[in-house]
Amino acid sequence: MAETHFFENALSDWMKDDGPDSEIVVSSRIRIARNLNPSPFPMLATNQQSKEVLDQVSDVIQSEEFKAIDHFTMLTLNDLNELQKQVLVEKHLISPALANESRNGAVILSDNESVSIMVNEEDHLRIQCLMNGFQIREAWDLASQIDDQFEAKLDYSFDESRGYLTSCPTNVGTGIRASVMIHLPALVLTQQINRILSAITQVGLAVRGLYGEGSEALGNLFQISNQITLGQSEDEIIDNLYGVVRQIIEHERAARHKLYHEWKAKIVDRVSRSFGILSYAAIIDSKEAAQRLSDVRLGADLGIIQNVTPAAINELMVMTQPAFLQQYAGEKLTPEERDIRRAELIRHKFSQTEG
Protein backbone atom coordinates (compact mmCIF):
# COMPACT_ATOMS: atom_id res chain seq x y z
CA MET A 1 0.00 0.00 0.00
CA ALA A 2 1.11 3.58 -0.62
CA GLU A 3 1.51 4.35 3.09
CA THR A 4 4.08 1.59 3.73
CA HIS A 5 6.84 4.20 4.16
CA PHE A 6 5.30 5.07 7.55
CA PHE A 7 6.32 1.59 8.76
CA GLU A 8 9.44 0.84 6.72
CA ASN A 9 11.49 3.99 7.39
CA ALA A 10 12.82 4.39 10.92
CA LEU A 11 13.82 8.00 10.44
CA SER A 12 10.97 10.39 9.69
CA ASP A 13 11.82 12.94 7.01
CA TRP A 14 11.55 15.81 9.49
CA MET A 15 14.40 14.24 11.52
CA LYS A 16 16.92 14.07 8.68
CA ASP A 17 18.11 17.69 8.79
CA ASP A 18 19.77 19.47 11.69
CA GLY A 19 17.69 22.01 13.57
CA PRO A 20 18.70 24.76 16.00
CA ASP A 21 20.71 23.39 18.95
CA SER A 22 20.20 19.87 17.56
CA GLU A 23 23.40 18.58 19.16
CA ILE A 24 21.46 18.75 22.45
CA VAL A 25 17.75 19.12 21.62
CA VAL A 26 16.64 16.13 19.53
CA SER A 27 13.10 17.35 18.88
CA SER A 28 10.41 19.85 19.85
CA ARG A 29 6.76 18.83 20.14
CA ILE A 30 3.40 20.51 20.58
CA ARG A 31 0.35 18.40 21.39
CA ILE A 32 -3.16 19.87 21.51
CA ALA A 33 -6.10 17.99 23.05
CA ARG A 34 -9.60 18.77 21.75
CA ASN A 35 -13.08 17.23 22.02
CA LEU A 36 -16.22 17.70 19.97
CA ASN A 37 -19.74 18.68 21.01
CA PRO A 38 -22.11 16.99 21.62
CA SER A 39 -20.22 13.67 21.46
CA PRO A 40 -19.27 11.96 24.74
CA PHE A 41 -15.55 11.75 25.41
CA PRO A 42 -14.00 8.64 23.81
CA MET A 43 -13.95 6.54 26.98
CA LEU A 44 -17.75 6.92 27.28
CA ALA A 45 -18.68 6.96 23.60
CA THR A 46 -20.50 4.12 21.88
CA ASN A 47 -19.11 2.56 18.73
CA GLN A 48 -21.56 4.61 16.64
CA GLN A 49 -20.66 7.87 18.39
CA SER A 50 -16.92 7.35 17.91
CA LYS A 51 -17.58 6.47 14.27
CA GLU A 52 -19.43 9.78 13.83
CA VAL A 53 -16.44 11.66 15.26
CA LEU A 54 -14.12 9.88 12.86
CA ASP A 55 -16.38 10.78 9.92
CA GLN A 56 -16.49 14.46 10.95
CA VAL A 57 -12.71 14.64 11.23
CA SER A 58 -12.31 12.85 7.89
CA ASP A 59 -14.52 15.45 6.22
CA VAL A 60 -12.38 18.31 7.56
CA ILE A 61 -9.09 16.92 6.27
CA GLN A 62 -10.64 16.61 2.81
CA SER A 63 -11.31 20.36 2.67
CA GLU A 64 -9.24 22.55 0.38
CA GLU A 65 -8.16 24.74 3.30
CA PHE A 66 -6.75 21.73 5.13
CA LYS A 67 -5.05 20.34 2.04
CA ALA A 68 -3.31 23.70 1.61
CA ILE A 69 -1.39 23.04 4.85
CA ASP A 70 0.10 19.72 3.69
CA HIS A 71 -0.77 16.34 2.22
CA PHE A 72 -2.21 14.00 4.84
CA THR A 73 -2.97 10.27 5.02
CA MET A 74 -5.48 8.76 7.43
CA LEU A 75 -4.70 5.31 8.84
CA THR A 76 -7.46 3.56 10.77
CA LEU A 77 -6.14 1.38 13.59
CA ASN A 78 -8.41 -1.53 12.71
CA ASP A 79 -6.64 -1.79 9.35
CA LEU A 80 -3.18 -2.13 10.95
CA ASN A 81 -1.61 -5.22 12.47
CA GLU A 82 -0.09 -5.20 15.95
CA LEU A 83 3.46 -4.85 14.66
CA GLN A 84 2.57 -1.83 12.52
CA LYS A 85 0.91 -0.17 15.51
CA GLN A 86 3.98 -0.70 17.66
CA VAL A 87 6.25 0.72 14.94
CA LEU A 88 4.15 3.90 14.99
CA VAL A 89 4.48 3.99 18.80
CA GLU A 90 8.27 3.64 18.57
CA LYS A 91 8.36 6.51 16.07
CA HIS A 92 6.28 8.63 18.50
CA LEU A 93 3.50 8.98 15.90
CA ILE A 94 0.80 7.40 18.07
CA SER A 95 0.51 6.68 21.78
CA PRO A 96 0.49 3.22 23.38
CA ALA A 97 -3.09 4.00 24.45
CA LEU A 98 -4.22 4.47 20.84
CA ALA A 99 -2.34 1.35 19.72
CA ASN A 100 -4.28 -0.68 22.26
CA GLU A 101 -7.66 0.87 21.38
CA SER A 102 -9.44 -0.59 18.37
CA ARG A 103 -12.78 1.27 18.50
CA ASN A 104 -12.67 3.68 15.55
CA GLY A 105 -9.21 4.92 16.42
CA ALA A 106 -7.19 6.53 13.64
CA VAL A 107 -4.10 8.61 12.99
CA ILE A 108 -3.68 11.31 10.35
CA LEU A 109 -0.08 11.74 9.20
CA SER A 110 1.65 14.31 7.03
CA ASP A 111 4.01 12.87 4.43
CA ASN A 112 7.12 13.86 6.36
CA GLU A 113 5.51 12.70 9.66
CA SER A 114 6.02 16.05 11.36
CA VAL A 115 2.24 16.19 11.93
CA SER A 116 0.41 13.35 13.64
CA ILE A 117 -3.27 13.73 14.56
CA MET A 118 -4.72 10.96 16.71
CA VAL A 119 -8.48 10.46 16.55
CA ASN A 120 -10.50 8.83 19.34
CA GLU A 121 -7.60 8.33 21.72
CA GLU A 122 -8.11 9.76 25.24
CA ASP A 123 -9.64 12.80 23.54
CA HIS A 124 -11.40 13.05 20.18
CA LEU A 125 -8.40 14.89 18.72
CA ARG A 126 -4.74 14.90 19.71
CA ILE A 127 -2.93 17.22 17.30
CA GLN A 128 0.84 16.68 17.46
CA CYS A 129 3.51 18.65 15.62
CA LEU A 130 7.16 17.57 15.77
CA MET A 131 10.20 19.52 14.61
CA ASN A 132 13.91 18.82 14.78
CA GLY A 133 16.11 20.70 17.21
CA PHE A 134 14.88 23.50 19.43
CA GLN A 135 11.89 24.83 17.46
CA ILE A 136 9.13 24.83 20.04
CA ARG A 137 7.67 28.15 18.87
CA GLU A 138 7.68 27.04 15.23
CA ALA A 139 5.97 23.78 16.22
CA TRP A 140 3.31 25.79 18.06
CA ASP A 141 2.68 27.97 15.00
CA LEU A 142 2.03 24.90 12.84
CA ALA A 143 -0.12 23.15 15.46
CA SER A 144 -2.16 26.32 15.96
CA GLN A 145 -2.75 26.60 12.21
CA ILE A 146 -4.10 23.03 12.09
CA ASP A 147 -6.17 23.56 15.23
CA ASP A 148 -7.74 26.67 13.67
CA GLN A 149 -8.83 24.65 10.63
CA PHE A 150 -10.55 22.08 12.80
CA GLU A 151 -12.15 24.70 15.04
CA ALA A 152 -13.56 26.56 12.02
CA LYS A 153 -15.50 23.47 10.97
CA LEU A 154 -16.13 21.53 14.19
CA ASP A 155 -17.86 22.44 17.46
CA TYR A 156 -15.21 22.14 20.16
CA SER A 157 -16.09 21.40 23.80
CA PHE A 158 -15.32 24.73 25.44
CA ASP A 159 -16.25 26.43 28.70
CA GLU A 160 -15.94 30.21 29.11
CA SER A 161 -14.36 29.92 32.56
CA ARG A 162 -12.39 26.67 32.21
CA GLY A 163 -11.33 26.76 28.57
CA TYR A 164 -11.11 23.65 26.38
CA LEU A 165 -12.57 20.57 28.07
CA THR A 166 -10.58 17.36 28.03
CA SER A 167 -10.82 13.80 29.35
CA CYS A 168 -7.92 14.32 31.75
CA PRO A 169 -8.34 17.27 34.17
CA THR A 170 -4.65 18.16 33.86
CA ASN A 171 -5.21 19.13 30.21
CA VAL A 172 -8.22 21.39 30.81
CA GLY A 173 -7.68 25.03 29.81
CA THR A 174 -5.45 25.47 26.80
CA GLY A 175 -5.25 21.72 26.20
CA ILE A 176 -1.60 22.19 25.24
CA ARG A 177 1.43 20.08 26.05
CA ALA A 178 4.67 21.61 24.86
CA SER A 179 7.74 19.42 25.20
CA VAL A 180 11.31 18.91 24.05
CA MET A 181 13.34 15.72 23.81
CA ILE A 182 16.77 16.61 25.09
CA HIS A 183 20.05 14.65 25.24
CA LEU A 184 21.92 15.38 28.48
CA PRO A 185 24.83 12.94 28.78
CA ALA A 186 27.33 15.47 30.15
CA LEU A 187 25.02 16.55 32.98
CA VAL A 188 24.55 12.87 33.85
CA LEU A 189 28.29 12.11 33.74
CA THR A 190 29.18 15.17 35.84
CA GLN A 191 26.45 14.21 38.34
CA GLN A 192 24.55 17.48 37.96
CA ILE A 193 21.40 15.96 36.51
CA ASN A 194 19.45 15.43 39.74
CA ARG A 195 19.92 19.06 40.78
CA ILE A 196 18.83 20.24 37.32
CA LEU A 197 15.77 17.98 37.22
CA SER A 198 14.73 19.06 40.71
CA ALA A 199 14.91 22.72 39.67
CA ILE A 200 12.82 21.96 36.57
CA THR A 201 9.96 20.46 38.56
CA GLN A 202 9.90 23.48 40.87
CA VAL A 203 9.02 25.82 37.98
CA GLY A 204 5.96 23.85 36.86
CA LEU A 205 7.57 21.56 34.31
CA ALA A 206 7.56 17.75 34.16
CA VAL A 207 10.45 15.42 33.28
CA ARG A 208 9.73 12.06 31.68
CA GLY A 209 11.56 9.37 29.76
CA LEU A 210 11.79 8.57 26.06
CA TYR A 211 8.19 7.36 25.75
CA GLY A 212 6.48 9.80 28.08
CA GLU A 213 4.86 9.33 31.46
CA GLY A 214 6.13 6.34 33.41
CA SER A 215 8.96 5.56 30.98
CA GLU A 216 12.68 5.41 31.71
CA ALA A 217 15.16 8.02 30.50
CA LEU A 218 17.05 5.57 28.28
CA GLY A 219 20.17 6.83 26.53
CA ASN A 220 20.24 10.02 28.63
CA LEU A 221 17.19 11.28 26.72
CA PHE A 222 14.72 13.32 28.78
CA GLN A 223 11.34 14.71 27.79
CA ILE A 224 10.65 18.08 29.41
CA SER A 225 7.12 19.49 29.20
CA ASN A 226 4.66 21.86 30.84
CA GLN A 227 2.42 20.55 33.62
CA ILE A 228 0.01 23.49 33.84
CA THR A 229 -2.61 24.05 31.13
CA LEU A 230 -5.18 26.02 33.13
CA GLY A 231 -4.68 29.66 34.12
CA GLN A 232 -1.92 30.38 31.61
CA SER A 233 -2.12 31.47 28.00
CA GLU A 234 -0.59 29.45 25.20
CA ASP A 235 2.20 32.00 24.78
CA GLU A 236 2.99 31.95 28.52
CA ILE A 237 3.29 28.16 28.45
CA ILE A 238 5.57 28.24 25.40
CA ASP A 239 7.71 31.08 26.76
CA ASN A 240 8.18 29.39 30.15
CA LEU A 241 9.33 26.14 28.56
CA TYR A 242 11.55 27.99 26.10
CA GLY A 243 13.33 29.93 28.83
CA VAL A 244 13.97 26.89 31.02
CA VAL A 245 15.19 24.71 28.15
CA ARG A 246 17.50 27.49 26.97
CA GLN A 247 19.15 27.42 30.42
CA ILE A 248 19.44 23.62 30.36
CA ILE A 249 21.13 23.78 26.96
CA GLU A 250 23.74 26.16 28.34
CA HIS A 251 24.33 23.94 31.41
CA GLU A 252 24.80 20.90 29.16
CA ARG A 253 27.22 22.81 26.92
CA ALA A 254 29.24 23.89 29.95
CA ALA A 255 29.32 20.30 31.24
CA ARG A 256 30.50 19.05 27.83
CA HIS A 257 33.26 21.66 27.81
CA LYS A 258 34.35 20.48 31.26
CA LEU A 259 34.34 16.83 30.20
CA TYR A 260 36.38 17.47 27.08
CA HIS A 261 38.94 19.84 28.55
CA GLU A 262 39.35 18.51 32.10
CA TRP A 263 38.60 14.79 31.69
CA LYS A 264 39.46 14.33 28.03
CA ALA A 265 41.25 10.99 28.36
CA LYS A 266 38.36 9.51 30.32
CA ILE A 267 35.64 10.72 27.97
CA VAL A 268 37.60 9.64 24.87
CA ASP A 269 38.06 6.22 26.48
CA ARG A 270 34.34 5.94 27.33
CA VAL A 271 33.21 6.97 23.86
CA SER A 272 35.76 4.71 22.15
CA ARG A 273 34.81 1.71 24.28
CA SER A 274 31.12 2.17 23.47
CA PHE A 275 31.91 2.59 19.78
CA GLY A 276 33.99 -0.59 19.86
CA ILE A 277 31.32 -2.61 21.65
CA LEU A 278 28.60 -1.46 19.25
CA SER A 279 30.87 -2.19 16.27
CA TYR A 280 31.62 -5.78 17.30
CA ALA A 281 29.01 -7.03 19.79
CA ALA A 282 27.18 -10.22 18.80
CA ILE A 283 24.31 -9.65 21.24
CA ILE A 284 23.08 -6.50 23.01
CA ASP A 285 19.89 -5.61 24.87
CA SER A 286 17.92 -2.41 24.32
CA LYS A 287 19.04 -0.70 27.54
CA GLU A 288 22.75 -1.19 26.90
CA ALA A 289 22.34 -0.25 23.24
CA ALA A 290 20.64 3.03 24.22
CA GLN A 291 23.44 3.90 26.66
CA ARG A 292 26.21 3.02 24.19
CA LEU A 293 24.51 4.98 21.42
CA SER A 294 24.26 7.94 23.78
CA ASP A 295 28.02 7.77 24.38
CA VAL A 296 28.74 7.61 20.64
CA ARG A 297 26.40 10.52 19.92
CA LEU A 298 28.23 12.58 22.56
CA GLY A 299 31.51 11.55 20.93
CA ALA A 300 30.22 12.65 17.53
CA ASP A 301 29.07 16.00 18.93
CA LEU A 302 32.49 16.56 20.57
CA GLY A 303 34.39 15.56 17.43
CA ILE A 304 35.83 12.39 19.00
CA ILE A 305 33.98 10.14 16.54
CA GLN A 306 34.21 11.39 12.97
CA ASN A 307 32.16 9.01 10.83
CA VAL A 308 28.86 8.72 12.73
CA THR A 309 26.29 11.51 12.41
CA PRO A 310 23.64 12.37 15.02
CA ALA A 311 20.99 11.50 12.39
CA ALA A 312 22.45 7.98 12.15
CA ILE A 313 22.24 7.63 15.94
CA ASN A 314 18.63 8.89 15.93
CA GLU A 315 17.78 6.30 13.29
CA LEU A 316 19.39 3.49 15.28
CA MET A 317 17.53 4.55 18.45
CA VAL A 318 14.29 3.80 16.59
CA MET A 319 15.43 0.82 14.51
CA THR A 320 16.72 -1.05 17.57
CA GLN A 321 13.35 -0.94 19.37
CA PRO A 322 11.49 -4.30 19.57
CA ALA A 323 8.72 -3.71 17.02
CA PHE A 324 10.97 -2.12 14.42
CA LEU A 325 13.50 -4.94 14.76
CA GLN A 326 10.76 -7.43 13.98
CA GLN A 327 9.49 -5.29 11.10
CA TYR A 328 13.05 -5.19 9.75
CA ALA A 329 13.44 -8.96 10.20
CA GLY A 330 10.05 -9.71 8.66
CA GLU A 331 9.14 -12.11 11.47
CA LYS A 332 8.25 -12.32 15.15
CA LEU A 333 11.36 -12.61 17.34
CA THR A 334 12.02 -13.83 20.87
CA PRO A 335 13.79 -11.40 23.26
CA GLU A 336 17.13 -13.18 22.69
CA GLU A 337 16.65 -13.15 18.93
CA ARG A 338 15.92 -9.41 19.12
CA ASP A 339 19.15 -8.85 21.06
CA ILE A 340 21.09 -10.72 18.36
CA ARG A 341 19.35 -8.83 15.54
CA ARG A 342 19.92 -5.52 17.34
CA ALA A 343 23.66 -6.12 17.53
CA GLU A 344 23.73 -7.27 13.91
CA LEU A 345 21.87 -4.17 12.74
CA ILE A 346 24.15 -1.79 14.65
CA ARG A 347 27.29 -3.56 13.36
CA HIS A 348 25.96 -3.26 9.81
CA LYS A 349 25.14 0.46 10.17
CA PHE A 350 28.51 1.26 11.73
CA SER A 351 30.38 -0.65 9.02
CA GLN A 352 28.56 1.45 6.42
CA THR A 353 29.66 4.71 8.09
CA GLU A 354 33.26 3.54 8.22
CA GLY A 355 33.16 2.77 4.49
Instruction: Say how far apart CA 305 and CA 248 lie, in whole Å.
Output: 24
Same domain for 170 and 315, yes or no, is: no
Question: Is residue 219 assigned to a domain?
Answer: yes
Question: Is residue 5 assigned to a domain?
Answer: no
Confidence of residue 201 (pLDDT cuts 50, 70, 90): confident
Q: What is the pLDDT of residue 5?
A: 81
Is the model more confident about 353 or about 326?
A: 326
292 known member of a binding site: no
Same domain for 78 and 156, yes or no, is: yes
pLDDT tens digit string along 294-309? 999 999 999 999 888 8
208 known member of a binding site: yes
What is the three-class DSSP state of 323?
Answer: helix
Same domain for 154 and 57, yes or no, is: yes
178 known member of a binding site: yes
DSSP track, 79-120: GS-HHHHHHHHHTTSS-HHHHT--SS-EEEEETTSSEEEEES
297 known member of a binding site: no
Instruction: Say how far apart CA 45 and CA 49 lie, in whole Å.
Output: 6
> Mean pLDDT of all residues in the chain?
91
Percent of the chain with pLDDT over 70: 96
What is the three-class DSSP state of 183?
Answer: strand
pLDDT tens digit string along 45-61? 999 999 999 999 999 99
What range does the domain containing 335 cover?
263-354
28 known member of a binding site: yes
131 known member of a binding site: no
Same domain for 85 and 115, yes or no, is: yes
58 known member of a binding site: no
Residue 274 has pLDDT above 70, yes or no: yes
Same domain for 197 and 65, yes or no, is: yes
Same domain for 199 and 285, yes or no, is: no
Domain termination site, one of 193, 216, 251: 251
Question: Is residue 258 assigned to a domain?
Answer: no
- Check: CB of residue 28 under 8 Å from CB of residue 143: no
Contacts of 323 (CB under 8 A, 6+ apart): 83, 86, 87, 89, 90
181 known member of a binding site: yes
Interval 157-163 mean pLDDT: 92
Q: Looking at residue 182, which CATH number applies to its domain?
A: 3.30.590.10
- Check: CB of residue 152 under 8 Å from CB of residue 61: no
340 known member of a binding site: no
Rg (C-alpha) for the chain, rounded Å, is: 21
Instruction: Say how far apart CA 216 and CA 202 lie, in whole Å.
Output: 20
Residue 149 has pLDDT above 70, yes or no: yes
Domain termination site, one of 185, 218, 251: 251
Q: What is the pLDDT of residue 2?
A: 54
Confidence of residue 355 (pLDDT cuts 50, 70, 90): very low
pLDDT tens digit string along 120-147? 999 999 999 999 999 999 999 999 999 9
* Stated length of the chain: 355
pLDDT tens digit string along 78-98? 999 999 999 899 888 999 999
DSSP track, 4-17: GHHHH-SS-GGGSS
Q: What is the pLDDT of residue 353?
A: 64
- Neighbour count for residue 318 (Cβ, 10 Å): 18
pLDDT tens digit string along 210-238? 544 444 567 899 999 998 777 888 999 99
5 known member of a binding site: no
Same domain for 126 and 203, yes or no, is: yes
Domain termination site, one of 229, 251, 273: 251
